[in-house]
Structure 1
Amino acid sequence: MGSHNPAIWMYLFIFALSTALLSLAVVAKALDVTFVANAVQKGAVCLDGSPAAYYFSPGFGSGVNNWVVHMEGGGWCSNEEDCVERKSNFRGSSKDSGQMSFSGILGSSQQSNPGFYNWNKVKVRYCDGSSFTGDIEAVDPAKHVFYRGSRIWFAIVDELLAKGMNKAQNALLSGCSAGGLASILHCDKFRDLLPSTTKVKCFSDAGFFINAKDISGVERIKAFFEDVVVTHGSAKNLPASCTARLPPSLCFFPQYVVQTLRTPLFVLNAAYDAWQIKNILAPSSSDSSGAWRKCKLDIKACSSAQSQTIQGFRAEFLNAVSGLQSSPSAGLFIDSCHAHCQSGRQAVWLDSGSTIVDNNPIGKAVADWFYDRTASKLIDNCSYPCNPSCHDVADDS
């Protein structure tokens, strides 16, 4: 009789509703920026000399000793002129860092992020233009540009260790786009800075940039990355296991770094990465006639010849990540979407309509891999637009 009591049902309904609203409130909570203590004195500064910064949401419950450190994306500056321009906006400065809300892999709702919802969550502000690899002491008094990305990264990690990450049971270094590249380049360093007892893994979202020729046959991205490395003095901060074998500029490409990576890595990437198609395959500098202008923004608008070229680029990408398929510790989620950065949006990460491969949403695949429940090597074996669950997103860094 008691189970049919209307008062009890009303209580349960109100409890469920209040729990759901509380969950939404946690997800939507706006966080203030945290500036690294004594960052300027340490030289851990953005291009414009403003201090290193990050956003922090403390862990709770069973997640108090678990950490996910996520690095923002936002491209690179490859010469002094570009870096001078960049320091005048939020990509090169922390001065105007407003509030931020977390979602996706940084979300705090158990239902929408069961693998990491109650972990300590950090989003690192990206303001150096080198994927946190630069470190040049000298500063031109006229241009007043600081190339200190590596110092930013170490200063933030040091502060997080002091905040309790030195007691971490589990830790995940992640990032999107240029931050996703940084999660690969700094992966083993992150492992080495944490206790030997900590379970440490790395996660790269849209950070697997490949060394490919553009539509005119020019190795433009290779030359661009070489300029980034030289401008920022990055060579000494790239993985030594790679630079011992190859020129430093090649060690800015994940395909050469992952061959000797010691720490488990999960790569999430669209096979038709929107940024790579637009900037590596068909950059405007190689398309003076504008023939690729519509195609690279919308694959459905491509001619048959352009589609064939794009399919070739997908094949190149799959070949570049093929080494990870045979690695027992690696995870892969390669969808046939035209997207860039898929872990920060709840609708894509883990939701009723999120992107799936082999019936696995991204959030579940990454959590299953981290907790060693399954190897999670998921690859769409079909060409665009074969996956109806795709969310074609341009950027969510």
Structure 2
Amino acid sequence: MESARISQWLNLLVCVLLLLKAEGSLVPLILVENAESKGAVCLDGSPPAYHFDKGFGEGINSWIVHIEGGGWCNNIESCLDRKDTRLGSSKQMEDIYFSGILSNEQQFNPDFYNWNRVKVRYCDGSSFTGDVEEVDPTTNLHFRGARIFSAVIEELLAKGLERAENAILSGCSAGGLTTILHCDSFKTFLPSRANVKCVPDAGYFVNVEDISGAHFIQQYYSEVVSTHGSAKNLPTSCTSKLSPTLCFFPQYVASHISTPIFVVNSAYDSWQIRYIFVPGSADPSDSWNSCKVNMSNCSPDQLSKLQGFKSEFERALSEVGDSPSKGMFIDSCYAHCQTEPQETWFKTDSPKLANTTIAKAVADWFYGRSSFRHVDCNYPCNPSCQNRVFDLKDLPGI
């Protein structure tokens, strides 16, 4: 009996270790202590933070800087709601696991496992574009996202990024938007000889009408830009021609990006469908809830409208251009963010286009082994998709 119990415990331990290995390695939080003297602080005035796992072997001079996502705050009230959470304060952040594109295991991340891998935490609510000098003492809100970006990169340069031979700026969701908006400026920090490229994931937010015909997301972004004082930190190649609000959208910036860029996105991005195409304000009767929870529940009319969204997304995506330096992996999965989760980045059952995983497509493009530029067929055509299924409680407002 005793040996049987020991065997059971050993089996359980092995299972736990395997689960931890699959989840990735726990990486400690690092505060940018000298950032406060520069005013480069989170919404609550605390110092910004990041996680760093040092590279090794042939990857010692190669870097991935990955930006955390988490939406935006568009006014004082919504920024106050974030202020005392991990999306507004480093005081609420903890150590995290690295996986997917940040994994240090070759079997889970074949081409980048031994690089220096960094995850920059997101605590400003503006995709690192804000910079307002004055701080209202009644709210103590700091809008300093652009300063945070510079302060973190400067600290990483001192840790070896200044010697980088290869570098990728990436990020998920609002971090993917950060990647697009800061792609060219990131390259200016790096040595001129370095091979620098950008890989935004689920950050190609499009300016489309919602199902009611309103421009909900355009108005929302206008408020983000105004609240955070973002205009001066958006790409001047865009703001010299268009309004700052429009220059918060990738489709108006993409054609001006000179740094090589690879867009990873779903054409049916679950976040965009839930909060841009069918926001709560456009569906007061909640008739889309079942569809937004699981696309297989969509009615023929709803599915037709979603195919229309995909067409609008593809038109916006065409602004990236067809240069060989511009790649893309646009699947038809009902998903949002696919480079960090191990299941979608690189496993035997990961989503595929042209029989290629996201990990292989990005790596082949980065190293110049082959180009990759594929847009999937219409939902539900791709059997490799890992489509999200949400709970109703996961459908709050933007």
**TM-score, normalising length from structure 2?**
0.91
User: Where does residue 249 of structure 2 map in the other structure?
Assistant: 253
**2:234 pairs with one of 229, 232, 238:** 238
Instruction: Give me the whole-angstrom Cα distance separating, in 2, the residues matched to 1:393 and 1:92.
Output: 27
2:264 is matched with 268
Which residues of structure 1 form unaligned runs of 5+? 1-20
Q: Is the 8 Å Cα contact of residues 267 and 333 (structure 1) preserved in structure 2?
A: yes
**Separation in structure 2 between the aligned mates of residue 29 and residue 300 of structure 1, nearest angstrom:** 35
- Within 5 Å, which residues of 2 pair with 1:328-367? 328-367=324-363
Residue of structure 2 in register with 1:95 after alignment: 91
Asked if 1:173 corresponds to 2:162, the answer is no
Q: Pairwise mapping of residues 185-200 of structure 1 onto structure 2 (< 5 A)?
A: 185-200=181-196
SS, match of residue 300 in structure 1: helix
What are the Cα deviations for residues 161-184 of structure 1, in whole angstroms up to 9, with x where unaligned? 010100000000000000000000
Output the CA distance in 1 between the equivalents of 2:201 and 2:332: 15
Paired with 1:29 and 1:278, the residues of 2 have a C-alpha distance of 32
Within 5 A, what are the aligned runs for 1:1-397? Answer: 28-324=24-320, 326-380=322-376, 382-393=377-388
TM-superposed deviation, 1:393:
3.8
Runs of 4+ in structure 1 over 6 Å off: 21-24
8 Å Cα contact 1:341/1:394 also seen in 2: no
SS of residue paired to 1:337: coil
For residue 323 of structure 1, report the CA deviation from its aligned partner. Answer: 3.3
- For the residues of structure 2 that align with 1:67 and 1:60, how far apart are their CA atoms? 11
| Identical positions, percent | 56
Figure out how many residues of one structure are paired with residues of the other and give that number: 375
Find the aligned partners of 1:122 and 1:393 in 2 and give their Cα distance: 27
1:371 and 1:26 map into 2 onto residues whose CA distance is: 26
The letter for the 2-side match of 1:270 is S
The aligned counterpart of 2:5 is: none
For residue 103 of structure 1, what is the amino acid of its counterpart?
Answer: S
Matched residue of 1:95: which SS?
A: helix
CA distance in 1, matches of 2:111, 2:339: 13
Q: Counterparts of 2:368 and 2:248 in 1: how far apart (Å)?
A: 29
Deviations 1:118-137 (A, max 9, x none): 00000000010000000001
Distance 1:280 1:26, change over 3 A: closer
Q: Deviations along 1:25-49, whole A, 9 cap, x unmatched?
A: 5973211100002121111111011
Provide the aligned C-alpha RMSD in A: 1.7
How far is the alpha carbon of 1:22 from its aligned partner? 11
Question: Post-superposition shift, 1:23?
Answer: 12
- C-alpha offsets along residues 243-262 of structure 1, whole Å, 9 cap, x if unaligned? 11110110110011011111
Residue 111 of structure 1 and its aligned partner are, at CA, apart by 1.9
Whole-Å separation in 1 of the counterparts to 2:308 and 2:263: 20
Residues 244-299 of structure 1 deviation map (CA, whole Å, 9 limit, x = unaligned):
11101101100110111110111000110000000111000111111111112211
Q: Distance in 2 between matches of 1:115 and 1:22?
A: 22
Give the unaligned 5+ runs of structure 2.
1-16, 391-398
8 Å CA contact 2:63–2:167 kept in 1: the answer is: yes
Q: 1:392: how far off?
A: 2.0
- 1:5 corresponds in structure 2 to none
* Distance in 2, Cα, partners of 1:259 & 1:101: 35
Asked if 2 retains the 8 angstrom alpha-carbon contact of 1:32 and 1:55, the reply is yes
CA distance in 2, matches of 1:25, 1:357: 27
Cα drift, residue 77 of structure 1:
0.2
The TM-score, its normalising length taken from structure 1, stands at 0.92
- The letter for the 1-side match of 2:195 is K
For each residue in 1:90-139, what CA deviation from the matched residue of structure 2 results, as whole angstroms up to 9, or x when unmatched?
A: 11111021111100000111122111110000000001000000000100
* TM-superposed deviation, 1:207: 0.1
Tell me how far apart the structure 1 counterparts of residues 351 and 227 of structure 2 sit (CA, whole Å).
38
Amino acid at match of 1:195: P
Structure 2: distance between partners of 1:71 and 1:210: 20
**CA deviations over 1:318-349 (Å, ceiling 9, x no partner):** 11112335122111000011000000111110
Measured at CA, do residues 207 and 244 of structure 1 come closer, stay the same or move farther in structure 2, by a change above 3 Å?
same
Letter in 1 for 2:78: D
- Secondary structure (helix, strand or coil) at the match of 1:186 reads helix
* 3-state DSSP of counterpart to 1:296: helix
Evaluate the alpha carbon distance shift between residue 26 and residue 286 of structure 1 in structure 2; reply closer, same or farther with a 3 A threshold.
closer
Q: Indicate the residue corresponding to 1:11 in structure 2.
A: none
* Contact residue 26 and residue 109 of structure 1 kept, 8 A: no
Residue matched to 2:396: none
